[in-house]
Structure 1
Amino acid sequence: MAFRIQRNQPVSISPQFQRVRMKIERPAQEPLQIASAGNPAAGQPKETGRTVSFDSVLGAEKLKEGGAPRERWVEYTIKENDTLWNLAVKRYHVHVEDIIKDNSIEDPRKIQPGQKIRIRLPSYPERKDVVASWYGREHHGRLMANGEKYNMHGATIAHKELPLGTRVELENPVTRQRVKAVVTDRGPYIDGRDVDLSYGLARKLSVVERGVAPLVMRVLG
């Protein structure tokens, strides 16, 4: 018996003939390598079952589990009057010793305009609990680790490890007061303390009276 289906008329299909959409999961792939005569298999991705890693590309971020950046590199061309100190402290907020080591520079005073260097940019956790103290009048006007004079009313901190010039945000978790600061000095050198605040910052964070207080620190770059 013949039958006719009109245009736009819905058609009922038996369940056993319906298509079943399947989700196919594939593991991530290792980074591609450039093929060569000695390595013809290069250029073919390999299955790793883990997150994707972008290596061997200058300036690309290396990813760890979950996609958070581990480290990043930039290439910089030396210009007239550049110094490694200014590049490290004023521009990229890294340790000058790391630039020297990563580029195998024998004499930092003899860098030349046009010379290319690689700078490794660090990454930090989103937040870190720290113990802060402060230093004030007796250090006012003294030279700090960055070569400038300490201003007890300035928005500066001392830290033992963060590169000079690094910008941070500090928060008092009790009062919710927040300030932004720059790492300009080294210290504190007392066990159990992580940060030395300027007197001005200590006042804004309600730390002056207590002398030592827990804070939350976020590195801004």
Structure 2
Amino acid sequence: MAKETVKKHSEFEELVENPDALAERLTTGSEDFVKRNKTKLLVVFATIAAVVVAGFLYYNYKSTRSTEAQNAMFQAVYYFEQDSLGKALNGDGQYLGLLAIASQYDGTDAGNLANFYAGVALLKEGKFAEAQEYLEDFESDDYLLQARAYSLVGDAMLEQGNNKEAADMYMKAANYNANQYFSPQYLMKAGIAFEADNNFTAAAEAYDKIITDFVASNEVSEAKKYKARAEALAGGKN
């Protein structure tokens, strides 16, 4: 009896896991199989239907949330561009602000972008710890925008006196898909942050990277002067 039960269970599992085998058995008139496994088959088909419906509802839910978030972002960004930071961050009573959008629409593109705008606005307001949190929550496939976010996190850290962490973040921004337009700017910031941390050797290396890797950049002339100063300070320290 046990062997018979195992055999039936294996047969059922094989047919459920192999749609072609199931279709063949059903189309060849295996009424006995259907009768014996009617309840199990109904459960399987009901589960599949539930998954499909749930997926459809979730997709619609995500689409609706994205649309709502984008509409809310439009007004918040308008206030941001007008430098009306209070309304941009907290809303105007009719439209949500960046902080609420980032929280309520987490997981949407607009909610993610709200983290970036909120971080910048909070930086401007001098709320550096809060700014850092929002900027660290921002993620982007756009390498220029993501590098900018890293640099802004560095700004927030530097304002809080975390010089080493700021320098490391600037280096991260500079090395993230390095390019001649923005990387030299981030390296300059890194050098200055390293100097603030009394790490003049690291500062000189950051300036030297501009001179050697980005020879056509506008920062080269300034980097040479800063490098000479950092090397002198490093020598005096030794």
Structure 2 length as normaliser, TM-score?
Answer: 0.26
The structure where strand makes up a greater share of residues is 1
The structure where helix makes up a greater share of residues is 2
Higher Cα Rg: structure 1 or 2?
2
Structure 1 length as normaliser, TM-score?
Answer: 0.27
